[in-house]
Chain A
């Protein structure tokens, strides 16, 4: 690598605007780029949710604020079925692949891993830059797909064949091809990112920082990276086959040409289920950093948490067919997959109990990051418990493809991506941007989001148990759903509230970016190495390579004058921030 990259600190001034802010190879800038991309895409995904919810609550009426969408996508704000299907598909795709992963892995993985391990940057800074621009291109491709004839992909975020395998079924030809291309770019981006995360963590840790002294956030990031890299391969192969089916007319997933549509489901979920944990683990990792800091206690069961998540990661590779209990696979496979699925709740229950035990008896304070962290745990528990219902085949056959499932996975992914992600953002914002976020707005944001989210999704469980199917355009077409329509309208109002509740956050984010209270190096009195770096963190991070003498969570040590013990200091912090 060239001289100016790591010649030391104070060389950032040499770089022009483009190299410093746009085509930067600094992991912190790249992390922020991921952050802005994911927040923007979250707005896009949220807008889609609003359009969808309006259509469900008041079918085929003009959606307020959708009048700008040109024909034939929408007609004066009235959403036709094709566009509704596209919204369902793209909401899922964008939220999982272009919000969840770039937010939790892209932004916080890139920003935190080198800082937390006391390194000057990632192992491959240029590859890191490429990974961001690859997903950026992928996002553009995804958004562009709306503007092609037939609209964007509309076969569901799972892209089940044969819907996805032949344009004849959905009418979306280039939209669907671009969906595959956009996902391929996203996968490539995170494969590059994964190589970087793993190599950096294994080879560049500061002296004294053994693997079992790593902050759990780093453990969660690298575990997620391994899970992603080992699960996405078969789907990449499948995506190539799907593209061949669509473009040159092979028949890998088309029964009348000798293929098997069910194969796509296997390939998708072999990746799709581990993918859930790829998004989940970094969100939990953020919680694992935040809980000890605001409890002033060591995390409970450090090694147990690591092993539990590794066990969950391994198990996640043998649960995929629980998504396919009604797909017509061999019934003899149902029981094994039910068992592994229910088994996977054990390691996660251990992690949740470790969280509770960390809180137990701690000196709790409740600034915004802590509130979001506790909110994550509370809501995630509901997601986890309802997962057991879905995993039991006899129950799943009844609730499959209903709003119960929709509510379940929103209860796992929303707390993780948004509540956990917001916790992380409020917590590390001072280190990222050198300023504190506003506490009052933060608390308004938390309570509003937390209440609105539950008001949206608890009724959805009821809808699902009432047999309300997911992905239907107009519930009023079904007599048995008509009594539930008022609940649908209630959910839509609550969803609109949930979206409006993000306005305090947006104001807070931009206001704090420029006008927030200046943050010291270590505003939370936390132990881990990122707080030992000066704020704002210079290019190259640390003036000298820090040596590590302690584990990451040595709070309130008996006999210590202070209640925290930074990892890089042999004894006691000398200055308070």
Chain B
């Protein structure tokens, strides 16, 4: 290759930095959760079915409800990004808010679920299944919380109008992260709630 890249190409590459940074971050996150899930699956297989009795006590209904909440929030996130693209600022702002609210609702339901389990006597110390249950959903919950804070800050910027004209691209990066959090739940839900 001679001097193939022109000055404009050089500039163009700058705009994809944020997205690429997010992708590299997500790649390392995949290894965190991938490792975690691998540990869980190996332990569960090695337990020879002894965990099934524990796993029966998780509430598939609440889990399903939460899955719906989180999947819907991914939809609203996509809509927010779509309206950013179309430069419809009011709708973009509203959909960011919907995403935040759905995320908060997910965390609320999760908190209710925790309190229900603990009241029924299933604490993180009630056997290895429950240790995993709380550790996995807890780590995922922290990621949801981080996403909610991220989306909320974007919503505040959108509400004040400071998101434009320079930083609206961040909605896409936040969207990537949010879908990732959603995807992790798609793995957690069947492994924890449906596989006894």
Name A residues whose Cβ lies closer than 8 Å to a Cβ of B: 123-124, 127, 191, 194-196, 198-199, 202-208, 210, 213, 229-238, 240-241, 244, 248-252, 257-260, 263, 267, 270, 545, 547-549
B159 within 8 A of A: no
Contact B28 A207 (CB under 8 A): no
Residues of B106-164 contacting chain A, CB below 8 A: 124-125, 127-128, 131-132, 135, 139
Cβ distance B140 to chain A, nearest Cβ, rounded Å: 12
Cβ distance B15 to chain A, nearest Cβ, rounded Å: 9
Contact B43 A236 (CB under 8 A): no
28 pairs from A and B in contact (CB 8 Å cutoff): A195-B24, A196-B21, A199-B17, A203-B14, A207-B7, A207-B9, A208-B3, A208-B5, A229-B24, A230-B27, A230-B28, A230-B31, A231-B31, A233-B28, A234-B32, A234-B38, A234-B39, A237-B32, A237-B39, A240-B139, A244-B135, A250-B131, A251-B128, A252-B132, A259-B128, A260-B43, A548-B3, A549-B2
Q: A233-B29, A241-B135 are in contact. List 9 more A-B contacts (CB 8 A).
A: A203-B14, A206-B10, A207-B3, A207-B6, A229-B27, A233-B28, A238-B35, A250-B128, A252-B132
Contact B24 A233 (CB under 8 A): no
What is the CA–CA distance of A194 and B24 in the complex, to the nearest angstrom? 8
B36 within 8 A of A: yes
What is the CA–CA distance of A211 and B31 in the complex, to the nearest angstrom? 26
B1 within 8 A of A: yes
Contact B5 A194 (CB under 8 A): no
Contact A233 B17 (CB under 8 A): no
Chain B residues with CB below 8 A from A244, complex form: 124, 131, 135
Contact of B39 among A207, A263, A547 (CB under 8 A): A263
Residues of B45-59 contacting chain A, CB below 8 A: 46
**Interface on chain A toward B: helix, strand, loop, or mixed SS?**
helix
Chain B residues with CB below 8 A from A549, complex form: 2-3
Question: Which residue on chain B has the smallest CB distance to residue A203?
Answer: B13
Contact B124 A238 (CB under 8 A): no
Contact B36 A203 (CB under 8 A): no
Contact B135 A199 (CB under 8 A): no
Contact B32 A233 (CB under 8 A): yes
What is the CA–CA distance of A240 and B9 in the complex, to the nearest angstrom? 43
Contact A250 B34 (CB under 8 A): no
Contact of B34 among A233, A240, A251 (CB under 8 A): A233
Cβ distance A256 to chain B, nearest Cβ, rounded Å: 12
Q: Which 7 A-B residue pairings sit nearest by Cβ, starting from the closest?
A: A234-B35, A233-B31, A237-B36, A233-B32, A258-B128, A250-B131, A208-B3
What is the CA–CA distance of A404 and B35 in the complex, to the nearest angstrom? 32
Chain B residues with CB below 8 A from A548, complex form: 3
Contact B20 A198 (CB under 8 A): yes
Evaluate whether A203 and B16 lie within 8 angstroms (CB atoms) in the complex, with A233-B29, A234-B34, A244-B131 already known. Answer: yes
Chain A residues with CB below 8 A from B183, complex form: none
B25 within 8 A of A: yes
Chain A residues with CB below 8 A from B25, complex form: 191, 195
What is the CA–CA distance of A203 and B3 in the complex, to the nearest angstrom? 16
What is the CA–CA distance of A357 and B25 in the complex, to the nearest angstrom? 38
Chain A residues with CB below 8 A from B2, complex form: 208, 549
Question: Which residue on chain B has the smallest CB distance to residue A233?
Answer: B31
Contact of B135 among A195, A235, A240, A258 (CB under 8 A): A240
B30 within 8 A of A: yes
Cβ distance A27 to chain B, nearest Cβ, rounded Å: 14
What is the CA–CA distance of A346 and B35 in the complex, to the nearest angstrom? 28
B4 within 8 A of A: yes
Chain B residues with CB below 8 A from A263, complex form: 39, 42-43
Contact A199 B21 (CB under 8 A): yes
Question: Which residue on chain B has the smallest CB distance to residue A200?
Answer: B17
What is the CA–CA distance of A123 and B21 in the complex, to the nearest angstrom? 9
Question: Which residue on chain A has the smallest CB distance to residue B6?
Answer: A207
Chain B residues with CB below 8 A from A234, complex form: 31-32, 34-36, 38-39
Question: Which residue on chain B has the smallest CB distance to residue A257?
Answer: B128
What is the CA–CA distance of A231 and B14 in the complex, to the nearest angstrom? 28
Chain B residues with CB below 8 A from A205, complex form: 5
Contact A210 B13 (CB under 8 A): no
Cβ distance B136 to chain A, nearest Cβ, rounded Å: 9
What is the CA–CA distance of A528 and B103 in the complex, to the nearest angstrom? 49
What is the CA–CA distance of A244 and B132 in the complex, to the nearest angstrom? 11
What is the CA–CA distance of A237 and B143 in the complex, to the nearest angstrom? 13
Chain B residues with CB below 8 A from A213, complex form: 1
What is the CA–CA distance of A489 and B3 in the complex, to the nearest angstrom? 61
